[in-house]
């Protein structure tokens, strides 16, 4: 792949992680229950994937499906999950916390970012639920997170490409904007050109069912994505 670009693939098991690496993916986001957006993987799954793949692995830290306004008990669970991810040799974590009213929870997000150090934190698509994305961008930057996974509030990254470009321009060198949602080999080049992004996220849920166990097909689709990025200059 063109060294300018990085492709992250979300996976929910060992075989998919292996397929993502074989297909040329540069990083995996490891979850369970991708059909609900991804939840925290078990210690056993973290260890198994870490043993089998050589590319960076980021662990999802999300205690339940639904909204991103968490109780004290759920927040404590997130803290413990970050400790497990560190223990299991993860290269980063993915999380997001909001307050009621679709606003960033800056304080608790910063606490998790500090707890995760030196692992980088991706603030996930909870960001897209914020009522004011430019303000939310500045607030995520305040937390010390390394990147934001977002479609800029749109259903897909391609549909949100104009706003993604605005977020990338506003972020400058302070944080990395990672476009995701509905990215496939048929549109990743368009998203790259329209947004100016250098990292991309795909779970391939629009071309393969999340429940699919056809890992060969998964590998093929990842390779198609990497080939599209390789063709960009």
Whether 63 maps to a domain, the answer reads: yes
Count the domains in the chain. Answer: 1
User: What element of type H or E holds 177?
Assistant: strand 176-179
pLDDT at 213 exceeding the cut of 80: no
Q: What number of other Cβ atoms are within 10 A of residue 200's Cβ?
A: 23
pLDDT at 109 exceeding the cut of 50: yes
Q: How far apart are CA 143 and CA 163, in angstroms?
A: 22
Unique residue bearing structure tokens 């078990």: 42
Domain region containing 81: 6-120+184-225
Whether 12 maps to a domain, the answer reads: yes
SS3 at position 149: strand
> Rounded to whole angstroms, what are the CA distances from 126 to 25, 53, 68, 87, 103?
24, 28, 7, 26, 10
pLDDT interval class at 3 (50, 70, 90): low
Whether 133 maps to a domain, the answer reads: no
Whether 230 maps to a domain, the answer reads: no
SS3 at position 63: coil
Closest CA to 165 of 198, 187, 139: 198
Q: How far apart are CA 176 and CA 199, in angstroms?
A: 8
User: What element of type H or E holds 29?
Assistant: strand 27-30
pLDDT, mean over the chain: 95
What tens digit of pLDDT does each residue of 47-102 get? 999 999 999 999 999 999 999 999 999 999 999 999 999 999 999 999 999 999 99
Whether 197 maps to a domain, the answer reads: yes
Mean pLDDT of 212-233: 89
Whether 163 maps to a domain, the answer reads: no
For residue 85, the 8-state DSSP code is H
CATH code of the domain in which 210 resides: 3.20.20.380
HEC sequence for 99-148? ECCCEECHHHHHHHHHHHCCCCEEECHHHHHCCCHHHHHHHHHHHCCCEE
Whether 136 maps to a domain, the answer reads: no
Q: What number of other Cβ atoms are within 10 A of residue 1's Cβ?
A: 17
Whether 172 maps to a domain, the answer reads: no
pLDDT at 149: 98
């Amino acid at each position: 792949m063109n060294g300018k670009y990085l492709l992250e693939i979300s996976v929910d098991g060992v075989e998919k992680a292996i397929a993502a690496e074989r297909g040329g993916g540069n990083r995996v986001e490891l979850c369970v229950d991708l059909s609900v957006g991804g939840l925290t993987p078990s210690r056993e799954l973290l260890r198994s994937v870490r043993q089998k793949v050589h590319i960076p692995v980021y662990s999802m830290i999300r205690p339940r499906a639904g909204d991103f306004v968490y109780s004290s008990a759920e927040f404590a669970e997130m803290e413990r999950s970050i400790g497990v991810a560190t223990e299991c040799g993860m290269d980063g974590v993915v999380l997001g916390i909001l307050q009621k009213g679709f606003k960033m929870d800056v304080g608790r997000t910063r606490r998790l970012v500090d707890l995760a150090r030196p692992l980088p934190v991706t603030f996930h698509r909870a960001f897209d639920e914020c009522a004011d994305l430019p303000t939310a961008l500045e607030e995520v930057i305040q937390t010390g997170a390394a990147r934001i996974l977002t479609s800029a509030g749109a259903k897909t990254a391609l549909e949100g490409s104009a706003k993604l470009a605005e977020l990338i321009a506003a972020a400058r060198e302070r944080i990395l904007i990672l476009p995701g949602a509905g990215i496939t080999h048929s549109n990743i080049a368009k998203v790259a050109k329209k947004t100016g992004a250098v990292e991309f996220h795909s779970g391939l849920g629009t071309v393969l069912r999340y429940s699919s166990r056809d890992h060969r097909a998964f590998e093929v689709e990842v390779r198609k994505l990497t080939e599209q990025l390789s063709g960009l200059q």
